[in-house]
């Protein structure tokens, strides 16, 4: 098995950007006119008519389309953003006085950085928020090579995205609040875009022998894991019936659930203490799922600052769905939804783990909704409307349509 | 090749249901569940009149593979250019051109499970229990097909084994039943027709396209399972409209509750391709 996989991997030159027709809004619904990827592409390398495709000759791999696509139709192949976060956390030195870690692209050879990644156009607003929340320290983006790069427009795009994050999440009132646990953690200044080499504060991590071999072992294991895992992953995603949440939304969900968790937690264990004790490099992966039941209460309680922030994220990046009385319960929207935010509990009684809210009806999970609007466009009764902003607990399914069991 | 049609001779049909059983086994369709029939070859019976002047008829029902299919028009998936399909476009539900057999087929991989086809089809309903319909030619898989033997509940707690434990004990990894008929067929458009279908897609008759076009089979065997199995020779694949043929009235006449046969309408319908001839009388 390993041998065939090796041959597969080496013989097929895998592309950097994975194309998933089944998640593309235009492929799912022929009346949809989403053109975000085409609009943002600087070289017009993307084609949608007759199947999503990227012209590899003109594509400069700036990854803007990956950040723009609302449904994850374009995603980076076998790429683990969490490993980048954990590497950055490690690079911060663990001490208070350490210099902030540096993130850079791998488009040019001589760029100093702790972590090299693809061209940073894929860092959407959701990615930036996640970086701000997951990292305890400030972070430097090394953009010193961008001037001479073919993707030089990335700097402006990143600036715009950071500004947008600031206006949406960190309004002036939120900044004025005194947040004692992490005085600078949630400020925009935590992400520094370094365009001039003299501004860069870079300190290579000194490796002793133990550290060197430890790092080598980790790299090898990570490489092997991604090597063996990726081929199988790609095949699973091709059916149109499969619901897939785009990565940037999963990332934001995780960041949000961590904020809510730290907020609802007892004040005795503060965020900073948890950050420095024990497994600081492990990013909790199951938080959102495990704590679903405990998060029934609204998010207001506990720390006002965190509560305010998470509410702002909810208000700006999440969506609410309303179904009016015209709904004839055809539930075609459930099939149309690309992410699985809508669910029918018509047949839940078959599955014994579930206790249905009512015998039939439609459930909406806001943490899965990317606001693409396919459901409301497709609805034959025009009874679905999507609102920007959500209040309450996004991880809890709410019943948006009940069936009368007469 | 020309448009495939099915001729059903009602004067021979006694309603034994062999076609339905043959289809179920041949195409691995699950049991009736939650208003979904999963009967690609279904049949309805109806008794009318008052004793002693009663009349009883049996009527086999299947997908009509219409010339102007409402299900294809309703499918919201973006079309792919394909010269083998009518209009040169292939959605998740598509109709082959007459030169390719003219069947209305379904692409399991591209189906998003919105059930728009089921609602628009003149011979289908979204839930037969709710609308008190007798049949529906398009069904929807709301749970994993063959998802039985998965229950974890024990009849007597900590005493009897649950279904899942039994399954594990006998080493049954596949959820399909023992009579599962394994086949895979790639049709002329490159769409894979498969034996067991997954959750959240629709399911309809494909007139056993994998048998019709299988050159490894004997010519007399290149027929759908229902045709092969019928002991009375009621069903027949034909390529021209039989004389005096009638077609099934759509749900706007019958609500799929009664048997109404009408002359083939020239316009204003989806122009079905299953024709009924003769009539059965038990007296």
- Comma-separated ranges of CATH 3.30.70.3270 domains in chain A: 318-406
| Mean of per-residue pLDDT scores for chain A | 74
Segment 18-57 of chain A within 8 Å of chain B by CB: 22, 26-31, 50-51
Of A334, A352, A378, the CB nearest to B76: A378
Which residue from B minimizes the CA distance to A30? B78
Q: Do A378 and B78 touch (CB under 8 A)?
A: no
Which class for A201: exposed (0-12), middle (13-18), buried (19 or more C-beta within 10 A)?
A: exposed
Do B104 and A252 contact (CB within 8 A), yes or no? no
- Comma-separated ranges of CATH 3.30.70.20 domains in chain A: 2-77+215-244
Contacts of A381 in chain B (CB under 8 A): none
Chain B closest-CA separation from residue A150 CA (Å): 34
Q: Do B76 and A31 touch (CB under 8 A)?
A: yes
Task: Check if B132 contacts A (Cβ < 8 Å).
Answer: no
pLDDT tens digits, residue range A117-145? 888 899 999 998 888 888 877 788 888 88
Residue A299, pLDDT score: 45
Query: H or E element: which one contains A116?
Result: strand A115-117
How many CB atoms within 10 Å of residue A205?
13
3-state secondary structure of A103: strand
Residue B208, pLDDT score: 92
Cα B104 from chain centroid (whole Å): 11
**CATH 3.30.70.20 at A2-77+215-244, yes or no:** yes
Segment 22-51 of chain B within 8 Å of chain A by CB: 33-34
Q: What is the mean pLDDT of residues B140-161?
A: 79
Do B181 and B166 contact (CB within 8 A), yes or no? no
Tokens 């895998």: give the residue.
A14
The pair of three-digit structure tokens given for residue B62, joined into one six-digit string:
């299947």
> What distance in Å separates the CA atoms of residue B47 and residue B107, rounded to the nearest whole number?
38
3-state secondary structure of A320: strand
Reference B120, options B45, B202, B43; nearest CA is B202
What band does A279 get if pLDDT is binned at 50, 70 and 90?
Answer: very low
Angle, helices A209-236/A2-11, rounded to nearest 10 degrees = 80
Residue B208, in any domain of the structure = yes
pLDDT tens digits, residue range A152-182? 888 888 888 888 888 887 765 444 443 333 3
What band does B127 get if pLDDT is binned at 50, 70 and 90?
Answer: confident
Measured over all CA atoms, what is the biggest interatomic distance in chain B, rounded to whole angstroms? 66
3-state secondary structure of A125: helix
Query: H or E element: which one contains B225?
Result: helix B225-229
Q: What is the mean pLDDT of residues A75-97?
A: 76
Residue B87, in any domain of the structure = yes
The domain that contains B255 carries what CATH number? 3.30.70.20
Contacts of B153 in chain A (CB under 8 A): 352
Which residue from B minimizes the CA distance to A22? B110
Which residue from B minimizes the CA distance to A375? B114
> What distance in Å separates the CA atoms of residue A30 and residue A43, rounded to the nearest whole number?
25
Residue A68, pLDDT score: 92
Q: Do B126 and A330 touch (CB under 8 A)?
A: yes
Residue A1, pLDDT score: 56
Report in angstroms the alpha-carbon separations of A221 from A213, A214, A218, A230. Answer: 12, 11, 5, 14
Q: What is the pairing mode between strands B261-262 and A74-76?
A: unpaired
Under 8 Å CB pairs connecting chains A and B tally to 72
> What distance in Å separates the CA atoms of residue A111 and residue A105, rounded to the nearest whole number?
8
Report the length, in residues, of chain A: 406
Of A241, A330, A334, the CB nearest to B111: A241
> What distance in Å separates the CA atoms of residue A268 and residue B212, rounded to the nearest whole number?
72
3-state secondary structure of A210: helix
Q: Do B34 and A347 touch (CB under 8 A)?
A: yes
Query: H or E element: which one contains A66?
Result: helix A64-68
**Which of B76, B91, B116, B157 best tests the A interface by mutation, with the highest count of A CBs <10 A?**
B76
Residue A68: phi, psi to the nearest 5?
A: -80, -35
Reference A70, options A128, A21, A24, A39; nearest CA is A24
Q: Which domain, by its residues, includes B77?
A: 5-144+181-277
In chain B, the number of structural domains is: 1
Angle among Cα B111, B117, B118 to the nearest 5 degrees reads 110
Do A125 and A137 contact (CB within 8 A), yes or no? no
Q: What is the pairing mode between strands A139-142 and A191-194?
A: parallel
Look at A5-9, A19-23, B2-6, B10-14 and tell me which has the smallest mean pLDDT: A5-9
Q: Do A330 and B142 touch (CB under 8 A)?
A: no
Do A72 and A19 contact (CB within 8 A), yes or no? no
The pair of three-digit structure tokens given for residue B40, joined into one six-digit string:
């690609």
Task: Check if A352 contacts B (Cβ < 8 Å).
Answer: yes
3-state secondary structure of B106: strand
Do B240 and B5 contact (CB within 8 A), yes or no? yes
Chain A closest-CA separation from residue B252 CA (Å): 18
> What distance in Å separates the CA atoms of residue B136 and residue B248, rounded to the nearest whole number?
13
Which residue from B minimizes the CA distance to A50? B80
How many CB atoms within 10 Å of residue A383?
17
- For the cut 60, the answer to whether the pLDDT of residue A356 exceeds it is no
Radius of gyration of chain B (CA): 20
Angle, helices A125-134/A247-264, rounded to nearest 10 degrees = 30
pLDDT tens digits, residue range A187-210? 455 777 888 777 777 776 666 777
How many CB atoms within 10 Å of residue A256?
25
Residue A284, pLDDT score: 42
Angle among Cα A18, A20, A26 to the nearest 5 degrees reads 130
Chain A closest-CA separation from residue B92 CA (Å): 9
Q: What is the pairing mode between strands B55-62 and B41-48?
A: antiparallel
Residues contacting residue B241 through CB under 8 Å, at least 6 positions apart: B5, B264, B275
Task: Check if B119 contacts A (Cβ < 8 Å).
Answer: yes
Q: What is the pairing mode between strands B89-90 and B138-140?
A: unpaired
Residue A93, pLDDT score: 57
Q: What is the mean pLDDT of residues A217-224?
A: 76
Contacts of B92 in chain A (CB under 8 A): 240
Enter the CATH code of domain A318-406: 3.30.70.3270
Angle among Cα B266, B267, B271 to the nearest 5 degrees reads 75
The helices-and-strands tally (H runs, E runs) of chain B is 7, 15
Complete DSSP assignment for A228-292: HHHHHHHHHTT-TTS----HHHHHHHHHHHHHHHHHHS-TTS-HHHHHHSS-TTPPPSSHHHHTT
> What distance in Å separates the CA atoms of residue A5 and residue A11, rounded to the nearest whole number?
10
Residue B151, in any domain of the structure = no
Residue A131: phi, psi to the nearest 5?
A: -60, -40
Q: Do A50 and B80 touch (CB under 8 A)?
A: yes
Do A67 and A123 contact (CB within 8 A), yes or no? yes
Do B109 and B235 contact (CB within 8 A), yes or no? no
Do A181 and A259 contact (CB within 8 A), yes or no? no
Cα A216 from chain centroid (whole Å): 28
pLDDT tens digits, residue range B130-141? 889 999 999 998
- For the cut 70, the answer to whether the pLDDT of residue B195 exceeds it is yes
- Which residues are B273's β-sheet partners? none
Chain B closest-CA separation from residue A372 CA (Å): 16
Look at A47-56, A85-94, A212-221 and tell me which has the smallest mean pLDDT: A85-94
Evaluated on CA atoms A170, A174, A175, A178, the torsion sign reads negative
- Which residues are A194's β-sheet partners? A142
Cα A188 from chain centroid (whole Å): 18
């Amino acid at each position: 098995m390993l041998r065939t996989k090796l041959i597969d991997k080496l013989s097929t030159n895998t592309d950097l950007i994975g194309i998933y027709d089944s998640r593309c809004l235009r492929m799912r619904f022929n009346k949809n006119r989403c053109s975000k990827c085409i609009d943002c592409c600087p070289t017009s390398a993307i084609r949608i008519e007759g199947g999503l495709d990227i012209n590899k000759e003109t594509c400069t791999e700036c990854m803007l389309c990956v950040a723009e696509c609302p449904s994850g139709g374009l995603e980076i192949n076998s790429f683990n953003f969490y490993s980048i976060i954990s590497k950055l956390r490690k690079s911060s030195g663990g001490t208070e006085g350490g210099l902030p870690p540096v993130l850079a692209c791998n488009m040019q050879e001589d760029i100093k950085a702790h972590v090299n990644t693809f061209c940073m156009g894929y860092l959407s607003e959701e990615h930036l928020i996640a970086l701000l929340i997951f990292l305890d320290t400030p972070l430097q983006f090394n953009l010193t090579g961008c001037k001479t790069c073919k993707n030089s427009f990335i700097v402006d795009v990143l600036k715009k995205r950071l500004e947008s994050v600031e206006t949406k999440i960190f309004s002036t009132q939120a900044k004025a609040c005194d947040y004692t646990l992490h005085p600078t953690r949630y400020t925009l200044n935590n992400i520094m875009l370094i365009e001039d080499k003299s501004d860069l504060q870079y300190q290579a991590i000194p490796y002793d022998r133990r550290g060197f071999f430890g790092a080598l072992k980790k790299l090898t294991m990570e490489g092997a894991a991604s090597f063996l895992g990726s081929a199988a992953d790609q095949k699973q995603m091709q059916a149109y019936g499969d619901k897939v949440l785009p990565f940037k939304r999963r990332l934001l969900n995780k960041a949000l659930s961590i904020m809510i968790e730290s907020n609802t937690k007892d004040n005795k264990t503060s965020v900073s203490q948890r950050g420095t004790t024990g497994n600081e490099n492990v990013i909790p992966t199951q938080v959102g799922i495990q704590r679903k039941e405990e998060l029934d209460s609204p998010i207001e309680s506990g720390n006002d600052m965190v509560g305010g922030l998470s509410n702002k994220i909810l208000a700006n990046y999440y969506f609410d769905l309303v179904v009016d009385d015209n709904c004839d319960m055809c539930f075609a929207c459930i099939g149309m939804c690309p992410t699985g935010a809508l669910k029918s509990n018509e047949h839940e009684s078959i599955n014994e783990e579930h206790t249905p809210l009512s015998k039939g009806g439609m459930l909406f999970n806001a943490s899965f909704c990317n606001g693409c609007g396919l459901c409301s466009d497709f609805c034959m009764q025009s009874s679905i409307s999507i609102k920007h902003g959500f209040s309450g607990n996004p991880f809890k399914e709410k019943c948006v349509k009940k069936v009368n069991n007469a | 090749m020309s448009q495939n049609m099915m001729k059903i001779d009602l004067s021979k049909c006694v309603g034994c249901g062999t076609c339905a059983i043959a289809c179920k086994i041949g195409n691995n369709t699950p049991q009736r569940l939650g208003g979904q029939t999963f009967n690609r070859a279904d049949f309805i019976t109806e008794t009318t009149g008052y004793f002693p002047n009663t009349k009883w008829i049996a009527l086999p029902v299947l997908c009509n593979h219409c010339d102007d299919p409402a299900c294809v028009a309703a499918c919201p998936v973006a079309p792919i250019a394909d010269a083998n399909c009518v209009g040169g476009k292939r959605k998740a539900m598509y109709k082959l051109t007459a030169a390719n057999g003219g069947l209305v087929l379904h692409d399991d991989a591209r189906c998003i499970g919105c059930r728009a086809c089921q609602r628009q089809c003149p011979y289908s309903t979204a839930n037969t229990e709710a609308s008190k319909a007798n049949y529906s030619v398009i069904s929807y898989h709301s749970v994993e097909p063959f998802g039985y033997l998965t229950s974890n509940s024990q009849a007597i707690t900590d005493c009897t084994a649950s279904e899942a434990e039994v399954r594990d004990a006998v080493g049954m990894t596949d959820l399909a039943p023992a009579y599962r008929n394994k086949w895979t067929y790639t049709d002329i458009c490159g769409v894979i027709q498969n034996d067991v279908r997954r959750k959240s897609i629709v399911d309809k008759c494909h007139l056993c396209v994998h048998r019709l076009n299988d050159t490894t089979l004997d010519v007399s065997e290149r027929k759908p399972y229902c045709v092969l199995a019928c002991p009375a020779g009621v069903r027949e694949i034909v390529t021209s409209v039989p004389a005096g043929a009638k077609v099934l009235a759509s749900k706007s006449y019958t609500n799929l509750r009664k048997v109404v046969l009408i002359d083939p309408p020239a316009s204003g319908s989806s122009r079905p391709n299953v024709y009924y001839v003769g009539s059965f009388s038990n007296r």
